[in-house]
Amino acid sequence: MSIQLFDLTGKRALITGSSQGIGHALAHGLAAAGAEIVVNGRDADKLAKAADTLRKAGATIYELAFDVTDHDAVRAAIDGFEDATGPIDILVNNAGMQQRAPLEDFPADGFERLLQTNIASVFHVGQACARHMIGRGAGKIVNICSVQTALARPGIAPYTATKGAVANLTKGMATDWAKHGLQCNGLAPGYFETPLNQALVDDPDFTAWLEKRTPAGRWGKVDELVGAAIFLSSEASSFVNGTTLFVDGGITASL
């Protein structure tokens, strides 16, 4: 197998929620593999700072600020970018949020926010990009799932529900769009050191539990997601469709 199968030169990747955390790390990684990167977030100032960091590393960067939960805004932004700049060849649906509370006390408005941010956004951005990809007969969609796609923990039942839904929506995308030349897959991180998980990282009891529970015995580093993301974004995965790849240090493989 030629290493060229993993080369993203000449491709353009939109990564939602790429101002920080996993999304920002994936932007660095896909850029290093040759892709031009379209960074996205709601906060234009924060997005500009993230874009500047990527440009200083030598990447070709575009900034596209929009709210992934707003269907009309997503469609206008994607269509406008495609018309003015060119094709989006790769979409990484990374935007997401977490909220923790016992299920019996979980606020209804918090549940709705999770549904919109973690599930509806994947539909909105995925559909907007796929409509253009279908016309070209090619495209890659990588939906960021979670170890909670397969497992549950106390206090995050709604989050677990959303990430399970993302994996099934990924299967649906593949089922509808594979015939048009698209590959749609999920990438499921385990427990990684990110801003979203900072409270857990800072909790010595949780970290001790995680180190015992995870066969690898540690938190993941966000750079360790890059290889899997490049694989799912490249020609190397040309016949991989509708699957979810877990990058979790073995936590879903063991009791």
pLDDT tens, residue by residue, 112-146: 999 999 999 999 999 999 999 999 999 999 999 99
Residue 255 lies in a domain: no
Over residues 198-216, the mean pLDDT reads 95
Q: Is the pLDDT score of 69 beyond 80?
A: yes
Residue 252 lies in a domain: no
Q: What's the total number of domains in the chain?
A: 1
pLDDT at position 195, please? 82
3 band by pLDDT with thresholds 50, 70 and 90: confident
Q: What is the pTM of this model?
A: 0.96
Question: Which CATH number goes with the domain that contains 227?
Answer: 3.40.50.720
Boundaries of domain holding 231: 3-247
Give percent of the chain above pLDDT 90: 96
pLDDT at position 194, please? 87
Residue 166 lies in a domain: yes
Tokens (6 digits) for 250 = 């073995």
Residue 117 lies in a domain: yes
List pLDDT tens digits, range 158-192. 999 999 999 999 999 999 999 999 999 999 999 99
List pLDDT tens digits, range 14-67. 999 999 999 999 999 999 999 999 999 999 999 999 999 999 999 999 999 999
Residue 64 lies in a domain: yes
pLDDT at position 136, please? 98
Residue 195 lies in a domain: yes
Residue 253 lies in a domain: no
Phi, psi of 178, deg, nearest 5: -60, -35
List pLDDT tens digits, range 222-241. 999 999 999 999 999 999 99
Q: Is the pLDDT score of 1 beyond 70?
A: no
pLDDT at position 65, please? 96
**b/e map 8-46, b = 16+ CB within 10 Å:** beebbbbbbbbbbbbbbbbbbbbbebbbbbbbbbbeeee
Catalytic residue chosen out of the listed positions 66, 159, 219, 246: 159
User: How far apart, in whole angstroms, are the C-alpha atoms of residue 146 and residue 10?
Assistant: 29
Residue 186 lies in a domain: yes
197 band by pLDDT with thresholds 50, 70 and 90: confident
Residues pairing with 65 in the sheet: 41
Is 191 catalytic? The answer is: no
Mean pLDDT, the chain, rounded, equals: 97
Mind spelling out the 3-state secondary structure of the chain?
Answer: CCHHHHCCCCCEEEECCCCCHHHHHHHHHHHHCCCEEEEEECCHHHHHHHHHHHHHCCCCEEEEECCCCCHHHHHHHHHHHHHHCCCCCEEEECCCCCCCCCHHHCCHHHHHHHHHHHHHHHHHHHHHHHHHHHHHCCEEEEEECCHHHCCCCCCCHHHHHHHHHHHHHHHHHHHHHHHHCEEEEEEEECCECCHHHHHHHCCHHHHHHHHHHCCCCCCECHHHHHHHHHHHHCHHHCCCCCCEEEECCCHHHCC
Q: Is the pLDDT score of 2 beyond 90?
A: no
Over residues 194-201, the mean pLDDT reads 87
